[in-house]
Structure 1
Amino acid sequence: MKVDIYSKPSCSLCDEAIDVVERVRARIPFELRVISILEDPAGMMAWRYDIPVVLIDGQLAFKHRVDEGALEAWLRRAQDGTEVAHLRARDE
């Protein structure tokens, strides 16, 4: 599994989201990329008003805030090969 977090420097919500994701990562292994929208023009266009944004295997999972329990549930379902499309991104 791959988790991408779109963020930017000096963003307290981004720092909080990264902390939550790292706590879950300690229990469930996955590849993590933290991508600064300042260094990614496509990310800037897509997410500039919504950071932090968390994508799981390319699918939008969270915007603005990351719920630790919901993230863990999403990843466990993905890990088991169970459909996760019914879980929607927060704050859509």
Structure 2
Amino acid sequence: MSADPTEPVRVVVYAKPGCHLCEDAIALVAQVCAETGTSWREVDISGDAELMRTYGEQIPVTFVDGRQHDFWRVDPERLRAALGA
């Protein structure tokens, strides 16, 4: 995750607890972002009714630079390409 709170976060993963696909996606995002020095964060949608309505059937949903990148699964090569790595 981003070490500097003033640094813009490039990758966001919408997820919820108990979701095995979310756990897999978060692990891959963390790995790729560590390799590339990219900031990222996880958003738990379970406490937000609007996020649950929007993303509940697609989680995990990955955004890169504010645009939806993937859902359900993360392809590490595709993520690296989107990050310019």
Aligned to 1:36: 44
Aligned to 2:53: 45
| Alpha-carbon offset, residue 46 of structure 1 | 0.9
Normalised by the length of structure 2, the TM-score is 0.83
Letter in 1 for 2:59: I
What CA distance in whole angstroms lies between the structure 1 residues aligned with 2:83 and 2:66?
A: 13
Normalised by the length of structure 1, the TM-score is 0.77
| Alpha-carbon offset, residue 31 of structure 1 | 2.0
Letter in 1 for 2:52: M
Count matched residues: 77
Percent identity between matched residues is 35
| Alpha-carbon offset, residue 2 of structure 1 | 1.4
CA displacement 1:73-92 (0-9 Å, x = unmatched): 11117xxxxxxxxxxxxxxx
SS where residue 10 of structure 1 aligns?
coil
SS where residue 62 of structure 2 aligns?
strand
Aligned to 1:76: 84
Superposition misfits of 4+ residues, deviation over 6 angstroms: none
Aligned to 1:89: none
Q: 1:42 to 1:65 in 2, by over 3 A?
A: same
Aligned to 1:55: 63
Q: Is 1:8 aligned with 2:16?
A: yes
SS where residue 33 of structure 1 aligns?
strand
